[in-house]
Every structure is written in C-alpha cells, then in structure tokens.
C-alpha cells in the first residue's frame, strides 16, 4: 500500500474509502469497531494526499490504522470498552497515537476490546463481543501446514462462531478480516500475542519502556505496553519504528535510539542460538501444538540456527504471580473512576457522595473488572500484602532472573503462543481458571518485561491457526523481528479466513 501511494497508483482517500466501505459492510457481524471515524479518516487521507503530491510524507503516510479503544484520542470517544467511560472524549492525544498521526497514519476508528483490557477472548466488552473471521471446519483434509501447504480448498462448512482472543480482539479480528492493514494493541499478559495467534496474523509486544504509556488507559502499570498487530512481520517492524521513542511524560519510557526495525529484516538466522524451554511442555498439551513447535525448531535448524535446550524453572509460578500483581495494580488504577470528573454518573440527586460512588461503580464496571478489583484490593489489604503481593513480586524477580540466565546462552527463545487454537464463543468463559490459562505461555515474558512476537505457525485439524512465539532480550526487538521474519519465510503461512 505504501509503495502504491508513493507511486500514485491510488490515493490515500481511495485507500481510506475502500477500508471504510468494508468496515461498514461487515462490522455488524464482527463487531470489531466501537467507533468508526469516517469524516476524520477522509480528512486525514486528503491531507496525506497533499503531502504525497509534493513528494513529502512520513513513514506510513496515507496508511489506514485501527486503534484499540484503550488509547486516548483527542475529541474522539474513548471507552476502554466500559460503560463507566460513557461519552468520554479526551482533550488530549496519547503519545503513541500522536506518533502514528505525525508519521502519516489515517485513523479509521476505535477498536473493540475486553473491558479495561481484562480478558483473553474479547467477551467482556460493554459494547458486545467480537467475532473472529476464522471458522472451524469439518473437513478431514485440513492439515497442519508446512512449506508450501497453503491450499484453502479444504476449508468447508463452518461450525459455531469463534473468539478472536483478547484483550486486543477487535484489533486482531479487524486485521485478519481486512478491515484495516495494521492496528494498535496493548499487551499486559499476552493481549497482543494471543489474539494474533488465534487470528493467524502477527503481533509484537516490545520491551517494557520501549513505547510510551502516556495516554493509554491504565490496567496494570508495571506490565502494560503498546504494540502493533499486522498481517506480517515486516508491517509490524515498520509500525514499531513509528511507535517507539522516549517520552518525558512517561517515567518508565527509556531514552534509547529507535532502530529502523524493517531494515534489520534479513531473515538470516545462521549462527543464532534458539532456546527451547522444557517447562513450556505442559501436561496434556495439544499434540498439534507440540508438532508445530517442533516443526518451527526444525525450520530454524535447517536455516542455520542452533537449537539449545534451556530451563526456565519458575515458569509454573508465573500465572499465579501475574493474577496477584495485575489485579493489585488494576484496583489502584481503577479507583479514579468515581462518576465525578468524567464518564458515567449513576444515582439520584439526593444521594450522598459515597452512595453515588457505589452506584456509579456498580453500574459502570462489568463482572470481570469487578472481580479483579476485589482480588486486587484483597491482596493489597492489611495482613495480606506480605503474604500475597510482596511474595508475587519476589516470584516475578525470579522469573526475570530465569530469562536473564537463559539469555547468557541463547539469542532468542521459541515457544508456542497459546495452549490452544481459538475456541467457540461461550465454550470456556464460564470457568475463569480455564480462561486465565490461555495466557500461560505469554505471561512469563510480560512479567520479565521482555519483547515477544507471535507469528502464524500452522493450521490445526479444524483449519484454525496456531501461533509460535519468539522471545528476546530486553530492547533487542531487532533480533526478535529478524528471527521471526526468517521463520515466517520458512513456514510460508498464506491461509486466510473464510469469506475474507
């Protein structure tokens, strides 16, 4: 698209209108967008055309972008998919989205998500669940992909609708369904990587501190990180170069030069050492995911990489530690939603201040958010802080130390992204423990603050995508992206969802 715009084969307005038409035609089904910014998109596209006509423009001039509704966008409804932020139009722009617009991006709208980014299936949004463009198939001919095996003829009659993953489910579904070429997501415990895996696309969580968190509605401040979702590694690399950079408004933003990530994509992995952690082979693991993982390691070995067995011994404690740390931070961050300053206000004129708070929060927050606030408040309370929160933070340090020791031996780590393919809507959400286990392979990376990327690795017997995750050293996104690019070329995954 970028080359076509620069060659004047089509205009930015043409591109925006084509995507807007597709959104308006199919969004009622997918429910990927909460807000469609048609007029703003066309105005931004026209401005891009004026720049391109003069031979000017930024790195992504004229490219349509979808924005997860966790990013504050000036004068555009920003809800975090929660009732409690009804009508909230920020008077400011998040740092990351401002960087996107400064580089020429065109905003198509705000994408659906799990409420306040709390969820792994995009089922908790106040604005309704998101439907994946992928469909389970019944044909026995559908097989795990390897080099060149991209035949879509086996994709036949669909069963029930599937989840797109979460919390960035709207972003992943929109990219997979061709509603936008790239989208912004956020990742706290796997919320970019897991939906990318479920939707057969690419998503990267950069190192904590690589992208500014300023203007992103906070869930867990020591974990939240912005990142791009796209259809291939190169597009993610281009977007990441735009999104990164130091921001004085975010005290956790690192003062580091931003590499040209796309320029580092040679695909050459010769001599690279790739770690395979034994602890990620969990009991009862899906045989097809194991086969995909083994195939990924084989392809890297054939490309000249050395496969090294490693140990991350504290992996089994990652999920319980995460589900103490993240709710604790959420209970603190979400205390600001009180009905006084912005968003929803519930109750009667005669209510006391406390009654108004209670009614607003009871009406404004969904069940999953309330559950995590209660858990977080409990683990921070007197008598329990040392027993739960402080201990979880110690475990978090041990997990980070495991990775530090592993990276003395290897350049990157290869694992599955998720323990399953996408599941049917309503299949797992009754059992919260089963739902939380969706993040078993992504949470350790988040707790350690490391970069991780998910790429499509194969199709399972039901014709659904399975993802491979590559984890790298802190602030070494170049290696992560390049190894992912080499593996992407070897896998040659080209299957698209039915009907797209």
Return the pLDDT at 356: 95
Cβ contacts of 136 within 8 Å, gap of 6 or more: 158, 159, 160, 162, 424, 462, 463, 464
State yes or no: is 82 an active-site residue. Answer: no
Name the catalytic one among 191, 197, 420, 454: 191
Number of domains in the chain: 1
In this prediction, residue 415 carries a pLDDT of: 98
pLDDT digit string, tens, across residues 27-81: 999 999 999 999 999 999 999 999 999 999 999 999 999 999 999 999 999 999 9
393 inside domain:
no
**pLDDT (average), residues 301-323:** 97
Residue 99 falls within a domain, yes or no?
yes
Give the bridge partners for 458, in sequence order: 466
Q: Is there a catalytic annotation at residue 428? A: no
Segment among 130-139, 172-181, 298-307, 468-477 with least mean pLDDT: 130-139
Please give the average per-residue pLDDT across 129-143, as a whole number.
72
State the catalytic residue, choosing from 48, 120, 132, 167: 167
**Residue 137's CATH number:** 3.90.1300.10
Which residues form the domain of 72? 2-273+421-491
Question: Is residue 149's pLDDT more than 60?
Answer: no
| Residue pair 212/244 in contact by the 8 Å Cβ criterion | no
The pLDDT of residue 438: 85
Check if the beta carbon of residue 441 is closer than 8 Å to that of residue 414: no
For residues 345-371, give the mean pLDDT: 94
Q: Is residue 205 part of a domain?
A: yes
CB 100 within 8 A of CB 242: yes
pLDDT exceeding 90 applies to what percent of the chain? 89
Average pLDDT along the chain: 93
Mean pLDDT computed over 116-139: 91
Q: Out of 48, 68, 120, 446, pick the active-site residue.
A: 68
pLDDT of 498: 73
Question: What band does 142 get if pLDDT is binned at 50, 70 and 90?
Answer: very low
Q: What's the pLDDT score for residue 284?
A: 82
Q: Which comes out higher in pLDDT, residue 330 or 428?
A: 330
Centre a 10 Å sphere on the Cβ of residue 106 and count the other Cβ atoms it contains.
Answer: 28
State CA 24 to chain mean position distance. Answer: 24
Task: Say if strands 202-205 and 452-459 run parallel, antiparallel, or are unpaired.
Answer: antiparallel
Assigned domain for 355 exists: no
pLDDT tops 60 at residue 140: no
| Position 328 in a domain | no
Select from 386, 418, 408, 391 the least CA-distant residue to 473.
408
Give pLDDT, residue 428: 66
Give the integer Cα–Cα distance in Å for 288 and 256.
40
The burial class, CB within 10 Å (0-12 / 13-18 / 19+), for 198 is buried
Residue 297 placed within a domain: no
167 has catalytic annotation: yes
Evaluate whether residue 463 is within a structural domain.
yes
Question: For residue 111, is it within any domain?
Answer: yes
């Amino acid at each position: 698209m970028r080359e076509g715009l620069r060659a004047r084969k089509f205009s930015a307005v043409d591109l925006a209108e084509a995507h807007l038409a597709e959104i308006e035609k199919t969004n009622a089904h997918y429910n990927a967008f909460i807000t469609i910014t048609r007029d703003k998109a066309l105005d931004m596209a026209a401005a891009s055309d004026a720049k391109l006509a003069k031979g000017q423009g930024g790195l992504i001039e004229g490219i349509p972008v979808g924005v997860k509704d966790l990013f504050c966008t000036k004068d555009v409804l920003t809800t975090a998919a929660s009732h409690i932020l009804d009508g909230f139009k920020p008077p400011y722009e998040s740092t990351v989205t401002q960087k996107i617009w400064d580089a020429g991006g065109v905003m198509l709208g705000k994408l659906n998500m799990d409420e306040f980014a709390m969820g792994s299936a995009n089922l908790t949004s106040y604005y309704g669940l998101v439907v994946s463009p992928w469909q389970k198939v019944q044909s026995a001919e559908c097989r795990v992909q390897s080099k060149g095996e991209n035949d879509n003829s086996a994709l036949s009659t669909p069963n029930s609708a599937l989840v797109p993953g979460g919390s960035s489910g709207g972003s992943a579904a929109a990219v997979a369904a061709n509603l936008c070429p790239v989208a912004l997501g956020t990742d706290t415990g796997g919320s970019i990587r897991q939906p990318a895996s479920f939707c057969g696309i690419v998503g990267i969580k950069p190192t904590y501190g690589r992208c500014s968190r300023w203007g992103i509605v906070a869930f867990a401040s020591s974990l939240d990180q912005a990142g791009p979702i796209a259809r291939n590694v190169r597009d993610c690399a281009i977007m990441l170069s735009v999104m990164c950079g130091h921001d004085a408004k975010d005290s956790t933003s690192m003062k580091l030069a931003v590499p040209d990530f796309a320029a580092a994509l040679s695909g050459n992995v010769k001599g690279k050492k790739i770690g395979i952690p034994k602890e990620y082979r969990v009991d009862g693991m899906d045989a097809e995911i194991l086969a995909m993982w083994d195939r990924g390691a084989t392809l890297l070995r054939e490309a000249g990489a050395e496969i090294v067995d490693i140990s991350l011994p504290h992996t089994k404690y990652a999920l319980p530690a995460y589900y103490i740390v993240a709710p604790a931070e959420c209970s603190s961050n979400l205390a600001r939603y009180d009905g006084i300053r912005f968003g929803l206000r519930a109750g009667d004129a005669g209510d006391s201040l406390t009654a108004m708070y209670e009614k607003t929060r009871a009406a404004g927050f969904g069940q999953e958010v309330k559950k995590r606030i209660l858990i977080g408040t409990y683990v921070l309370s007197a008598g329990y802080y040392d027993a739960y929160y402080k201990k979880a933070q110690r475990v978090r340090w041990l997990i980070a130390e495991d990775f530090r020791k592993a990276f003395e031996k290897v350049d990157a780590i290869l694992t599955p992204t998720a323990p399953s393919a996408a599941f049917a809507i309503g299949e797992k959400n009754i059992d919260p423990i089963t739902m939380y286990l969706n993040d078993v392979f992504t949470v350790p990376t988040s707790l350690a603050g490391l970069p991780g990327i998910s790429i499509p690795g194969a199709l399972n017997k039901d014709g659904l995508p399975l993802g491979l995750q590559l984890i790298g050293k802190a602030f070494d996104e170049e290696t992560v992206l390049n190894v992912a690019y080499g593996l992407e070329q070897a896998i040659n995954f080209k299957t698209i969802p039915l009907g797209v």
